[in-house]
Structure 1
Amino acid sequence: MLKRRSFIALALALAGCATPPVSTVPLASWEALQVQAGEQPLGIDKQASKLRAYIFRAGAAARLGHNHVLSATDFDARAFLGETGLSSARLQMDLQLDKLLVDDPTLRAELGGAFAKPLDADAIQGTRANMLGERGLQATVYPLLRLRSVKLVGEAPRLAALVEIELHGQRRQQWLVLRVNEQERRLTVSGSLVLRQTDFGLQPFSLLGGLLAVSDEIVVEFEIALVKPNAAAAATG
């Protein structure tokens, strides 16, 4: 145990000089979607909506590290149904990075497996500071993760979506699969995608020549509960 603690202490001591921060210029503002003629605006039920991101340990000494789960329910979403229904729908989601909850103990226990072990408060605070700080997401400069639909193909309950993602001052497009549960006054849209940190100019955390690291790939899952106008009063958003 002493050897393991010594290794982790060394890793934390080196973290401050592991990787120089990335310098990029903030993008022009991302304009919020506005309703267009023939569209039906949808409300968002924030209590029934959620986002989770999974970060995985890597490197030869991965067993000494931890997997991490980030979660959020307090994010903004705008959605509009077109005259032809889901195929012409438009969706935008904005998440303020400093509202991310890091390694919630209840959520870790629910996930089980390699996430089951709870982390102490100091470890969680250290992880949060590294992720959002100057050598990570630089959340004070780039405070938002944004996603918006570019093209939708298919029919409920499955659609293919081309989405544009903005993170850390850069934008990328990729395809993902959406699952749609449509009820009389409610739409639940869920999906998952893989973000590669290096695609957005981020350098995955790495120490001792990669002996202790995190994977470049981050798995993101989301579920957005949308409410049609007549039921919008029931939504919390």
Structure 2
Amino acid sequence: MSRTVLGFASRTGVLLLLCLGLTACPRPVQRPLPTPSVPPPPTPAEPAPLPSEEGATIYEIDPRASVLHIHVFRGGTFARLGHNHVVSSRSVTGRVWMRQQFSRSGFELSFPVEELSVDDPEARRAAGDDFPPEIPAADKEGTRKNMLRKEVLDAENYPKITVQAAAISGSIQAPNITASITIKDATRVVVVPARITVSGAKLTASGEFNVKQTDFGMKPFSVALGALEVQDQLRIVFDLTAVQR
């Protein structure tokens, strides 16, 4: 075997070791669906003051019946050597307040970073064909360790991600929702398309939207000068249930 072939094999082996859970998955790279967004404010937005409960119906988020998924997409020249990933939270807590005048309704939610799970088989199946369920345990752990490090979520110093209502208009049948999201020490506002249903004492809300990691001071994972990387844009998919207090 020639030195050229041996050198290529050696470089390929190093690249595969650096993938940290982005193992080969020969499927087309799916990019997150475009959703409208509000330009980030020049300075971090101040958290909205908590409303008076007078005149509002209060719903508490039920973590056992709620889930939030973050779809992470591979990129780069060697994207075919990587996996797309699903990061999930089943620890969402918070509350929703509903008023007869819908624009005076709102919500506040949070979930702990340390309790995020990576590539649950059921979550991957639900995410579609670009997320095949067969992911080695070592790859899942490598991906989770990478996302918790300082350059990404920095779980040690920023244990929670929070989401609050920034502006609400429209109606419960056709809501227009803008949310204020805080990750680490950065706060940004995004438009959140949502479907809301109230049935008796139960409220459900579901939808999806996109965010960029760099908007929150996170550095997307990358190796080999970007030949294999995680795309900046993430897709957030949520399905929440709240019960009247």
Q: Residue 8 of structure 1 aligns with which residue?
A: 16
CA distance in 2, matches of 1:136, 1:58: 17
Pairing 1:164-203 to 2, within 5 Å after superposition: 164-203=180-219
Which structure 2 residue ranges, 5 or more long, are not aligned?
A: 1-8, 21-43
Which of the numbers 137, 149, 159 marks the counterpart of 1:133? Answer: 149
User: Which secondary structure does the structure 2 equivalent of 1:94 belong to?
Assistant: strand
Q: 1:83 offset after TM fit, Å?
A: 4.2
CA distance in 1, matches of 2:130, 2:238: 21
CA distance in 2, matches of 1:11, 1:36: 49
2:216 paired with 1:208? no
Q: Could you say if the C-alpha distance between residues 113 and 88 of structure 1 is closer, same or farther in structure 2, counting changes exceeding 3 Å?
A: same
2:62 paired with 1:54? no
2:124 paired with 1:108? yes
User: Which secondary structure does the structure 2 equivalent of 1:171 belong to?
Assistant: strand
CA distance in 1, matches of 2:134, 2:234: 20
User: Which secondary structure does the structure 2 equivalent of 1:187 belong to?
Assistant: strand
Q: Residue 98 of structure 1 aligns with which residue?
A: 114
Cα shift readout 1:39-61 (whole Å, capped 9, x = no counterpart): 22212222221100000000000
CA distance in 1, matches of 2:232, 2:70: 13
Cα shift readout 1:129-186 (whole Å, capped 9, x = no counterpart): 0000123211111111111001111112221111111002100112221211121222
Q: What's the RMSD between the two structures over aligned residues?
A: 2.5
Higher strand share: 1
CA distance in 1, matches of 2:65, 2:219: 33
Q: Residue 90 of structure 2 aligns with which residue?
A: 73
Q: 1:109 offset after TM fit, Å?
A: 3.1
Q: Residue 54 of structure 2 aligns with which residue?
A: 37
Q: 1:121 offset after TM fit, Å?
A: 1.3
CA distance in 2, matches of 1:164, 1:35: 19
CA distance in 2, matches of 1:198, 1:34: 31
Q: Residue 159 of structure 1 aligns with which residue?
A: 175
Amino acid in the other structure paired with 2:53? Q
% identical equivalent positions: 30
Amino acid in the other structure paired with 2:15? F
Amino acid in the other structure paired with 2:236? V
User: Which secondary structure does the structure 2 equivalent of 1:87 belong to?
Assistant: helix
Q: 1:10 offset after TM fit, Å?
A: 4.5
User: Which secondary structure does the structure 2 equivalent of 1:113 belong to?
Assistant: coil
CA distance in 1, matches of 2:124, 2:184: 26
TM superposition score normalised by structure 1 = 0.81
CA distance in 1, matches of 2:233, 2:220: 9
CA distance in 2, matches of 1:10, 1:103: 19
CA distance in 2, matches of 1:217, 1:176: 15
User: Which secondary structure does the structure 2 equivalent of 1:135 belong to?
Assistant: coil
- 1:55·1:67 contact (CA, 8 Å) conserved in 2? yes
CA distance in 2, matches of 1:173, 1:196: 12
Which of the numbers 131, 144, 150 marks the counterpart of 2:160? Answer: 144
Residues matched between the structures, number: 214
Q: 1:196 offset after TM fit, Å?
A: 0.3
Q: Residue 16 of structure 1 aligns with which residue?
A: none
CA distance in 1, matches of 2:60, 2:108: 12
